[in-house]
């Protein structure tokens, strides 16, 4: 998997080293182990997916993590990205909207010995004001636009990596906070599951009511 990531253009040696070390299959159901290191997303519970290795590597590289960083992650999911962040940063604050996914990730990562991760169940589009500001923020679900709360909770000079666009197709953005403005880099086209919340997409129930 890591040789393929290098061929795909991932150059950050720290990211490659951590992804070589973390057993990705532990975050995936046994019945899907054949797919654990393949170059595509894999289903987890709740109709969600663990992101494709290339996208995980690209987003992590774009964050430019250092050992002193406090990082906010929106979309804990399987906890795989969380583990990578925890290896490369000082502390990870991770928010997931589904309590069962959050609990499963917490159990797995605690058993694996991580002590620098805080878990929250809730709407990540509102961020985690009590723990702000964050040096880095990563959003692993597709946003219609950049949630305001996340920009507010980003430290000066901090980086925010987030897929922004339509429900099916988005552009992966790396934004850097420079005073009042956000410097914007476009990384690639991508397709994430929707970020569902107040500053994201409506959930299915609200969506249906809206249609009636």
Among 83, 101, 161, 175, binds ligand SAH (CB under 6 A): 101
**Binding of ligand SAH by 137 (CB under 6 A):** no
Burial class (CB in 10 A: 0-12, 13-18, 19+), 7: exposed
Q: Looking at 17-25, 32-40, 95-103, 161-169, which segment touches ligand SAH (CB under 6 A)?
A: 95-103
* Minimum distance from residue 19 beta carbon to ligand SAH (Å): 12
In the list 12, 69, 123, 135, the residue contacting ligand SAH (rule: CB under 6 A) is: 123
- Interface map 138-177 toward ligand SAH (x if CB under 6 A): --xx------------------------------------
Burial 168-205 (b: 16+ CB within 10 A, else e): eebbbbbbbbeeeeeeeeebeebebbbbbbebbbeeee
By the rule CB under 6 A, 69 interacts with ligand SAH: no
Q: Indicate which single residue of 70, 91, 97, 159 sits in contact with ligand SAH (rule: CB under 6 A).
A: 97
> Does residue 49 bind ligand SAH (CB under 6 A)?
yes
Does 191 bind ligand SAH (CB under 6 A)? Our answer is no
Compute the least distance from the CB of residue 28 to ligand SAH, in Å.
9
Between 97 and 136, name the residue whose CB sits nearer to ligand SAH: 97
60 binds ligand SAH (CB under 6 A): no
Residue whose structure tokens are 């690639």: 188
Name the residue nearer to ligand SAH (CB basis): 183 or 198.
198
Dihedral angle, C-alpha 174, 180, 181, 182, nearest 10 °: 10
Residues recognised as catalytic: 51
CA-to-CA separations, 175 to 24, 89, 166, 200, 211, in angstroms, rounded: 28, 18, 18, 18, 34
Nearest CA to 122 out of 130, 114, 113, 111 is that of: 130
Question: Applying CB under 6 A, which residues contact ligand SAH?
Answer: 48-51, 74-75, 77-78, 80-81, 95-98, 101, 123-125, 140-141, 193, 195-197, 200
């Amino acid at each position: 998997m890591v040789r393929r990531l290098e061929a795909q253009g991932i150059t950050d040696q720290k990211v490659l080293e951590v992804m070589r070390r973390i057993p990705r299959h532990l975050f995936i159901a046994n019945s899907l182990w054949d797919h654990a290191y393949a170059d595509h997303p894999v289903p987890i519970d709740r109709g969600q997916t663990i992101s494709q290795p290339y996208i995980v590597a690209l987003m992590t590289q774009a964050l430019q993590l250092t050992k002193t960083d406090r990082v906010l992650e929106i979309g804990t999911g399987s906890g795989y990205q969380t583990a990578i962040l925890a290896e490369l940063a000082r502390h990870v604050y991770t928010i997931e909207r589904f309590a069962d996914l959050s609990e499963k990730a917490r159990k797995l990562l605690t058993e694996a010995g991580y002590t620098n991760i805080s878990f929250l169940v809730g709407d990540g589009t509102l961020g985690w004001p009590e723990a702000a500001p964050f040096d880095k923020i990563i959003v692993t679900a597709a946003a219609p636009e950049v949630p305001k709360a996340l920009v507010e909770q980003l430290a000066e000079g901090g980086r925010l990596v987030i897929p922004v666009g339509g429900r099916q197709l988005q552009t992966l953005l790396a934004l850097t906070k420079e005073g009042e403005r956000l410097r914007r880099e476009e990384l690639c086209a991508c397709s994430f599951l929707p970020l569902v919340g107040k500053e994201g997409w409506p959930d299915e129930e609200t969506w249906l009511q809206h249609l009636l």
